[in-house]
Amino acid sequence: MEFEVTMADIARLPRTPAAQSLCKRCKQNPPEITMRHEALCRDCFQIYIRTKFTRHMEPYRVKKNSQTTKKLLLATSLGVSSTALLDILHWHRALQVERARRSEYDVEVVHIDDTALIGGDGTTAAAAAADECLEKLRERYTQFEFTKVPLEDIYRIPNGTAAVEEIISTTEGITLDHSPSSPSSSSSSSPLDKLRTLLSTLNSRASQMDLITILRTRLIVELAKQRNCEAIFFADSMTKMAAMVLAEVTKGRGHALPWLISDGPTPYGPQTIVRPFRELSKSEIASFITFSSLWPFSIISQEAATNPPKPPVKAKNQTIDEVMEKFFNDVSNAHLSTNVVKTAAKLGFADDRDRVERLGLCEICGLPMDEDPRIRKLKNVKAEEGGEGNGNANDADARIYCLEPPEGEEGLKQRRCYGCRRSTLGAGKIDWPVNNR
């Protein structure tokens, strides 16, 4: 390209007759960005972004008599939002150190590396890009610790309740078993092979990506448990979350929406989830990156972020999440993400306790199980009439939703939620690496 116009350049261009060309908030500097109908200078814009972030940091403010330093785990994809959150968190912690001479928390940054799944040259290139980016981040953000964990390590996580408790009680010296041929594993195949086998049994790229996302989340949670982190930070923007909401609805996980998107405790364990960017749009975060000159610290280039390339796959091979992200990245739909996220956040459950006790957690996604609403209704009717017989209803579930359990797996409905049954449809028996608590 001979000439490149960055968003900052555009923002710097004089707008309309310079009648009132001063930032709406500080009334001193020329505005550089129009944000929610307000023309702001870059300083005021950064204050705005940081304010939105700081609101979520209440539990991590410096407290007078706190004894221990809290440990936070920041999950990074090395994408635009991840880098922005890293930067702001670094700023926030530095401010604590400056003002209070100590910080309330330490941050461990974890990048889950799934490049091995690409295979061939793609793996090498992607892994090199990630390493390079991580190296740059390490140099710049010296207060934080960075680690890269391959996704297949989920197969190295010791399973079972006892094992997890053991890890939590013995705080130091826990490392994952990275030796290539682990004698403890019962089968001879490597974790990567196991992961590849699992994915190869799934019927579409959409299902594969769905399970990869679940595995990534579960690995992050397990790592947080191992490292005694009390909170996990995700850099999901409002735009991303809107896409997540509709994607999960589309996958049939409407029943689990509150757990999927709300901050706070999870069914996975005591760690809380924090998404400090849930009120910021993707474009706002991109502007922040531009103003802070952080583009070199993200794996996504500025051109790619502002003008996303067409997905390299055929329309049929896209994933549900990709379609949804594309939908909300579209400028004409961007404003709808607020509605989606706010509406989803208001959904709650009336019968949480009852449901979890009665139905348990899904063996795949680890979230509370759903129940065929018609069965519940039938039960009520039956209870009133004092009758019985629910075998019929089970058949009808298979008939109406066309989700017949695979042969020999008739009890699957009791162990796997609707969305996970859909994503593993036709996969037969699978070797799933994580157990629920």
Partner 1 sequence: MNQCVICQTNRAQVIRPKNGQKICKSCFLEVFELEIHTTIVENNIFPNRGERVAIGASGGKDSTVLAATLKALNERYDYGVEFVLLSIDEGIHGYRDDSLETVKRNAIQYEMELCIVGYDTLYGWTMDKVVEMVGRKGNCTYCGVFRRQALDRGAKQLDISHILTGHNADDIAETVLMNFLRGDLPRLGRCAEIMTASPTSAMKRSKPLKYAYEKEIVLYAHYRELDYFSTECVYSPEAFRGNARSLLKELEKIRPSSVLDIVRSGEQLVHDAIGPNKLRYEEQNEWYEGGKGSENDKHILGNLKSPPGHGTTHQTTDGSRIQTIGVCENCGYMSSQPICKACVLVDSLNKTNASVGVSLGGGQTIH
Binding residues for partner 1, rule: CB under 8 A, are 204, 206-207, 245-246, 248-255, 257-258, 262-265, 272, 315-320, 323, 327, 333, 336, 338-340, 342-353, 370, 373-374, 376-378, 381, 393, 396, 399-402, 404, 418-419, 422
How far apart CA 176 and CA 379 sit, in angstroms, is 47
How far apart CA 321 and CA 250 sit, in angstroms, is 9
Q: Give 294 or 334: the residue with its C-beta nearer to partner 1.
A: 334
Distance in Å, CB of 256 to partner 1, minimum? 8
Q: Give 90 or 251: the residue with its C-beta nearer to partner 1.
A: 251
Distance in Å, CB of 403 to partner 1, minimum? 8
Distance in Å, CB of 7 to partner 1, minimum? 27
In the block, residue with structure tokens 């405790």:
265
Q: What sign for the dihedral angle of Cα 308, 312, 317, 319?
A: negative
Q: Give 2 or 384: the residue with its C-beta nearer to partner 1.
A: 384
Task: Report strand pairing: 70-76 vs 145-150.
Answer: unpaired
Q: Give 174 or 356: the residue with its C-beta nearer to partner 1.
A: 356
Radius of gyration of the chain (CA): 24
Distance in Å, CB of 383 to partner 1, minimum? 14
Q: Give 225 or 251: the residue with its C-beta nearer to partner 1.
A: 251
Q: Give 31 or 368: the residue with its C-beta nearer to partner 1.
A: 368
Distance in Å, CB of 276 to partner 1, minimum? 15
Distance in Å, CB of 362 to partner 1, minimum? 13
Distance in Å, CB of 50 to partner 1, minimum? 23
Q: Give 126 or 425: the residue with its C-beta nearer to partner 1.
A: 425
Answer for the pair 96, 62: CB distance below 8 angstroms, yes or no: yes
